[in-house]
Amino acid sequence: MTTAQTISLRTFTDLAPARDDLIAVYSDVRAELLHLPNYAVPAFTERLDRHGGDPGWFAVLAYTEAGEPIGYVYGNVIESDDRWWKRIKPNPPAQYTDRPAIAVKELGVRVPWRKTGTAKRLHDTLLAAHTAQPYATLMVNPAAGDGKVQRLYESWGYWSIGVSHPSPDSPILTAMIRPTGEGAA
């Protein structure tokens, strides 16, 4: 674990200036999984490029004082007819889908900066920029970290609303949701 070091957060609404840093951090964060088709860098890059063109795309990256990218989160605004919702089984209740929501698509922090609060700061900064959306939603591999990642999201106020299988190469994911504003964890 890295000692308390000053990090800065930078926000992006355009993919181009953040793309290389997102790919670099992703490659490091997911290093042990890159041999799996869904986690391979080309698969991530394809998703990133697609997501980066989606409405309301927004990213937050964390940097060290020396300018090294150490973590990221990105997402975009989704409407009721978005394929995100259509892939969740059972169908999510209308109270979650009848208004735009912020979908947290990716979140990762390099190993030395884990357990420093960096992931929570990244996440909270993303949500703070999307208070017009009543809910934030994400999908998590329930096996990640032997369940620790899902439990972390639960500690941040998320709860399960179903499962999703976004692609043939993807594991079955737990779909989660939480309010974005006051009263959220």
Domain 7-179 sits in which CATH superfamily? Gcn5-related N-acetyltransferase (GNAT) (3.40.630.30)
* pLDDT digits 0-9 by tens, 92-141: 999 999 999 999 999 999 999 999 999 999 999 999 999 999 999 999 99
Domain boundaries, the chain: 7-179
Provide the pLDDT for residue 37. 84
Q: Which two tokens stand for residue 162?
A: 């179903």
Token pair 């997501």 in the structure block, residue: 51
> Is residue 174 within 8 Å of 159, Cβ to Cβ?
no
Cis bond before residue 90 (omega within 30° of 0): yes
Query: pTM to 2 decimals?
Result: 0.92
